[in-house]
Structure 1
Amino acid sequence: MDGIIVINKPAGMTSHDVIAFLRKKYKQKKFGHTGTLDPNASGVLVVLCGKACKILQFLEDTDKEYIAQLQLGAQYSTDDIWGEKEKEQPIQPIQDLQALLRSMEGKQHQLVPKTSAKKIQGKKLMDYQREGKEVPDVYANIEIYATKVLDEKNLIFQVSCSSGTYIRSICRDIAQKTNNLGAMASLVRTKVGRFQLEQAESLDQ
């Protein structure tokens, strides 16, 4: 089988789990994806199979779109609620989330989460953290194209951004800018390039 499959990855599975599932289902080894989606996130995972794997190099830097939820009141080791809780403090209400998000649009130097696969001196940041060593600050050049608040009360928002953008970092930065502690509470990837969530199929399908 050759081609592109757009999967709606369920939360609780790694991107590698999805590839392993497809290899077993179709009894074929040649599968790859265009960009990892965190295990606790759901949404669009673009999978290439067979001869289509040859186009992977042209799809890896594709723009993305996400819907995320921010949770205030605590800081976590991973910048999302699935990490180790490090600190807590009372919540300061955010007066205008849309204005704050708009101020973050454009090109920027984003501080990468300490629990990530980004490498420095050939070693992943998450490995420094696991070994109890000091994790060096690593920054990535990213661009946020557009933002939109979907639910002000529950701090749910949409972000359109360049490849390599960490939504966990955006959540952390929103909290810091409002004198809060905060972390990402949920994440759905709604778009990868021209592939949208509406086109995606579940693994059952």
Structure 2
Amino acid sequence: MNGILIVNKPKGMTSHDVIQRIRRLTGSRRVGHAGTLDPLATGVLVICLGKATRLAQFLQSDSKEYVAEMTLGIETDTQDGTGRVLSRKPCSVEEREIINALKDFKGPTWQIPPMTSAIKHKGKPLYKLARKGIEVERRPRLVDIYKLELLEVKADDYPRASIRVGCSKGTYIRTLCADVGKALGCGAHMSNLTRTRAGKFEIREAFGLEELSKITEERSLNKILIPMNKALSYPVIVIKESFVQKILNGAPLREEMIEPKYTLDEGEIVQLWDTNGELLAVDKTTRPIERGLGQKPGEIIARPLCVGGSG
């Protein structure tokens, strides 16, 4: 069983818990995910089955979208609702103030990863150090928040503001909420989070675990699996039939293996398909490829990053 499954992760479960559940449902040991979600979070978790686990490295780098709720006036040591409260400050904030604060975080922005993250310090995940009460200095990381919208504000002594976020890989939404709270002068923490999109996969395509249990009982799981050749968004190059086995054996891509109809930049990631549309490999171009212009005979034009047929 090879393919992609889009799961709507419930609150309270770790991403690893979901993996274990899918293993039990499918009987497959080769199961992985393409981007973890915290136990507090719900929403899109991209699950890779069988040979599709090889694609996780590419799917993880895709952009993500979320709907998050931040509670203003309360700061915690984890930047979310599971942590110890550091400060409480009842506040009254106007919508326009929040909108103006959000503007400063849209676009490329620097974030200091939270101590609750899985980033490693001297070989140990930060969250393990945090559990021992140890805090270490973390280097700021540049992320891109390309969408940042205020959806609604629920008035209270501690107002709750819902925001829609579109961002690059590695963006910490809890840190965004905490930083926005600081900018407003009242502090904040993330009190709810739903991932609505991961790469090309949206929450409307996701299945709950109970739904998946029923589908598995009906032996219909293959009907909802997304095939490997539909998983990635990279440009496609079709390989001549006589060279398919060489590609599957890990050979680099050469000019004579393809028709001279592609235009690609150097360093571009591409999918290699056979003539039936099956994914053979994922390569990275080593030089520009220009439509209609032949390369030197036998010249390598791309090298494999991932090899393995989807059949």
What range describes the TM-score normalised by the shorter chain of this pair? Answer: over 0.9
Deviations 1:137-175 (A, max 9, x none): 332221000111111334101000001100001100111
Name 2:46's counterpart in structure 1: 46
Name 1:83's counterpart in structure 2: 83
Q: How does 1:66-145 map to 2 (within 5 A)?
A: 66-96=66-96, 97-145=98-146
Q: How does 1:1-205 map to 2 (within 5 A)?
A: 1-96=1-96, 97-153=98-154, 154-205=160-211
Q: CA deviation at 1:85?
A: 1.4
Find the structure with the greater CA-based Rg: 2
Q: CA deviation at 1:128?
A: 2.1
| Aligned residue pair count | 205
Counterparts of 1:167 and 1:122, CA distance in 2: 24
Counterparts of 1:21 and 1:131, CA distance in 2: 30
Q: What is the alpha-carbon root mean square deviation over aligned residues?
A: 1.3
The answer on whether the counterparts of 1:70 and 1:171 sit within 8 Å (CA) in structure 2 is: yes
Q: What's the TM-score, normalizing by structure 2?
A: 0.64
Counterparts of 1:134 and 1:20, CA distance in 2: 31
The answer on whether the counterparts of 1:69 and 1:186 sit within 8 Å (CA) in structure 2 is: yes
Unaligned stretches of 5+ residues in structure 2? 155-159, 212-311
Q: Secondary structure at the match of 1:104?
A: coil
Q: CA deviation at 1:132?
A: 2.3
Sequence identity, in percent? 39
Deviations 1:39-81 (A, max 9, x none): 0100000000011111122111110000001102221111001
Deviations 1:152-203 (A, max 9, x none): 3341010000011000011001110011121001000000001000010111
Q: Out of 23-32 and 94-103, give the one that drifted further.
A: 94-103
Q: CA deviation at 1:82?
A: 1.0
The answer on whether the counterparts of 2:115 and 2:135 sit within 8 Å (CA) in structure 1 is: no
Q: Which has the higher contact order (CA 8 A, sep 6+)?
A: 1
Q: What's the TM-score, normalizing by structure 1?
A: 0.95
